[in-house]
Structure 1
């Protein structure tokens, strides 16, 4: 039986210990600051925030290019000869990274590409689903695994509250007026993945502590999330008391396995410090 190797992008924010445990190969995306190109996952997120404080500019982000994917797939094949690669990619609706993987894969055989239509914890949830299937069924055929992953893709639900409207404004993602009104009224937008696109849905008014709890309760009311696993996403700067309260609410709702994921460079560049999100798979 040929070995199946899972891969994904750094935009999944898959914790290093999980990537190591399940041998998930991760290809970095890019953060650009002052004309310098940094590999996502190799740049401390705090450096991004420090850069913004100094310059009032946010870094730009770029996808993994086709050549990098070729090198990435080649490296996997060199390390695991005759393996089958199943790549679960960052949503194609928000990045060209997946399309670049498609271009690179034309040079190889036995590579399956799945557009997760998700990012950060929502993407990580799909990757971890695949990893758990492989762990329980190591002899599963690649086609069967791919079919099961594709079935779970539309069931991955992600919602998050950015930590900074000012950060969004600096990146041109909200108008100056919308940012000003949001600041004055203490409005915090909820961002969700809809058909692979990042969309502003609900709005919460008040302190972050209250907004995060409302978000989580709304999320659990709207989606019938599998109680086996829940993922919380945070960006550097989120209050520890908020984390503790989110754990309490999750346990009150029947979740025993709760995993916190730190947002990496890709998401932090767009959401700012102190953000919070939740991801899981619907039953």
Structure 2
């Protein structure tokens, strides 16, 4: 029986221990600063924030290209002969990365691509769903595994609060007027994935400690998330006391397992320092 290998992009923000445990193959996306191209995962989040502090400009990002996907799939075949590759990808509605994978995949057999229509912890939740199912049922057919993954894609919910309006303003994602009003009123927009697109769905007012808890409560009220697993995402700078409280709230709401994911350099260019997100799969 052919072995099933899972792959994804660095934009899934999967912790290294989970990548190693499940032998998930991760291809990097790109962060560009001062005209230099850095691989996401090789450049630190601290470098991204220091670049902004110096220049007051956020780095740009770029998708994984066709050549990189071709190398990824070739290396998987060399490392794991006689395998089936299932690539679980970053939303095609917010990046050209998935289309690059589609083009590269034309040269390979037994290679299947799934557009999760999600990013960071939402994408990571889908990858981990597949990895855990594969661990529980090692003899599972690739057809059934793909069917199961597709079934939870529309039920995967991600919401996050950018840590800094400065990053949204510098990236052209909010107007100067909205930035000034938001800063004065301490307003934080909630960003969710709707049909693969990043959409501001509501606004919260206050400090991150209270706002993050409000987001969690709204999220739990709106979505019937499977209590077996919850993913919490943070960008560097989120206060440890806030993280502890959010984990307590998760446990109070009946979640058996809560896993923190740190936003990598690419995602942090959008979230800014001190950001918070939550991801899970509806029952």
Relative to the length of structure 1, the TM-score reads 0.99
Q: CA–CA distance in 1 between the matches of 2:50 and 2:217? A: 33
Q: CA–CA distance in 1 between the matches of 2:269 and 2:253? A: 32
Structure 2 partner of 1:58 = 58
Q: CA deviation at 1:274?
A: 0.2
SS in 2 for 1:103: helix
Q: CA–CA distance in 2 between the matches of 1:176 and 1:228? A: 42
Q: CA RMSD in A?
A: 0.5
Q: CA deviation at 1:42?
A: 1.0
Q: CA deviation at 1:266?
A: 1.6
Structure 2 partner of 1:9 = 9
How do residues 8-87 of structure 1 correspond to structure 2 at under 5 angstroms? 8-87=8-87
Q: CA–CA distance in 2 between the matches of 1:255 and 1:146? A: 26
Q: CA deviation at 1:143?
A: 1.1
Q: CA–CA distance in 2 between the matches of 1:226 and 1:282? A: 5
Q: CA–CA distance in 1 between the matches of 2:260 and 2:271? A: 17
How do residues 1-283 of structure 1 correspond to structure 2 at under 5 angstroms? 1-283=1-283
Q: CA deviation at 1:256?
A: 2.4
Q: CA–CA distance in 2 between the matches of 1:33 and 1:243? A: 30
Q: CA–CA distance in 1 between the matches of 2:248 and 2:270? A: 28
Deviates more, 1:210-219 or 1:136-145: 136-145
List, as ranges, runs of 4+ consecutive aligned residues in structure 1 with deviation greater than 3 Å: none
Q: CA–CA distance in 2 between the matches of 1:84 and 1:65? A: 21
Q: CA–CA distance in 1 between the matches of 2:99 and 2:52? A: 30
SS in 2 for 1:279: strand
Which consecutive residues of structure 1, in runs of 5 or more, have no partner in the other structure?
A: none
Q: CA–CA distance in 1 between the matches of 2:239 and 2:247? A: 13
SS in 2 for 1:220: helix
Relative to the length of structure 2, the TM-score reads 0.99
Q: CA deviation at 1:113?
A: 0.1
Q: How many residues align?
A: 283
Which consecutive residues of structure 2, in runs of 5 or more, have no partner in the other structure?
A: none
